[in-house]
Structure 1
Amino acid sequence: MRITVIGGTGLIGSRLVDVLERGGHAVVTAARATGVNSFTGEGLEAALDGAQTVVDVSNSSYTDVAGALEFFEASTLNLLTYGAAAGVRHHVALSVVGTTRLARAQGGYFIAKAAQERLIADSGHDYSLVHATQFFEFIRSITETATRGRVAHLADVLVQPMAADDVASAVADTALGEPVNGVVEFAGPEVFGLADLARRELRFRQDEREIVADPLGTYFGARLAERDLLPEAVATIRPTRLHEWQTRAAVPH
């Protein structure tokens, strides 16, 4: 199968390209680094030529509502338009578990992700939306953003995080299957309080900052209920646990 991966040089994209190529598929890695810009349309026609499936794992560098909306709306419309012209039969996009809930909580980034999903769902094209829980790889950056001095105030919510490798394999499985014309959810095998998760990761890295579960804390600007980041009971559970991921990540390559 010929598959174009938008955002193919990023955290998930690079892993996804590797999974698909090892499976014998012809993969076009589309990113600004390879001369393809989904936001402006530069290089898209050539990148999508002959592709049966397009997988969008690109991300906005802006988390405010205006910047994120501009990126996701323009990029998604370009992908749908150029994809239709190229005869793409399956449009796959990576998104976030609980997007609608998070958008209602006024998280600017999640408002933009919800808009992206609506554009795809309303396009008339066959599609699959992959909803994944938060990645282990982002724990430290989330903690950094919430740190003032030596104390990090994190939202008092539950999370069920995944390893980036598991996210990539979930997206690959979805891309290689038939379009579901809806949402498929994936999550990790363990549930943590966000503050406890951050504390475990920092202690593993011998970082002694104080972590506080703050009832008034926000998550990318959204004020959430305790279970808003958790998947539905029908979610597919991927295998990697926190300690396994930490141990694997600590081994030099």
Structure 2
Amino acid sequence: MGLELYLDLLSQPCRSVYIFAKKNGIPFEFKPVTLMKGQHKSEEFSKVNLLGKVPALKDADFTLAESIAILLYLARKFKTPDHWYPSDLQKRARVDEYLSWQHMATRLCGSKVFLIKAIAPAFLDEPLSPAKLDGAIEDLNGVLKLFEEKFLQDRRFITGQEISLADLVAIVEVMQPLAGGYDVFEGRPKMAAWRQRVEEAIGKDLFLEAHEPLLKPKAAENLPPELKEQLKKNLLKYIK
């Protein structure tokens, strides 16, 4: 039995795992899990990941959850090029620093803007107040300022001259608000140039392939009413 990756490419952490595996020629079977259909809460999926989240990895009888753990497992098992998770102590520390910071920063704030602008209108009976969106965008702008000043600075990539896991995780997070029509790169030439370098390092075709489900999301009209109601409750908890 080979390596299996359970992914929904609407999710930032799933896209980072997908891109990393494809870019490095890691052999895997893509197991799609549609979050909008609640497939991550099924009894079958719980046998792979009791946490009920994607991404998830199954390697023979070994299972693993959490995107960062999965990325590091793949990097070590398949001995991917050093620049992804550098052996140099300080460069590796830069990667670890960003990966430790992003959960409650770029990922959280990017997701919130995406959910309010792109997902909430399909689930909520009435639009959210403009103040809710304004507050989410203000938080995201503050995080992006920190990203530029602290993590990117004047370097080509977060660790210096070469792309790393930090850049890969960062790019999928800051792409998330684009699906809601909020361009995080507008007025940020440093970030826009960094995005272009990351795309080139990944490969434009792979980058577009991984982001197509995000930028062309399917509508939620055909969901069962009970599932739609549950997703509505979860959404309101997340964006409160």
TM bucket normalised to smaller: 0.3 to 0.5
Q: TM-score scaled to structure 1, two decimals? A: 0.33
Q: TM-score, normalised by structure 2?
A: 0.35
Larger strand percent: 1
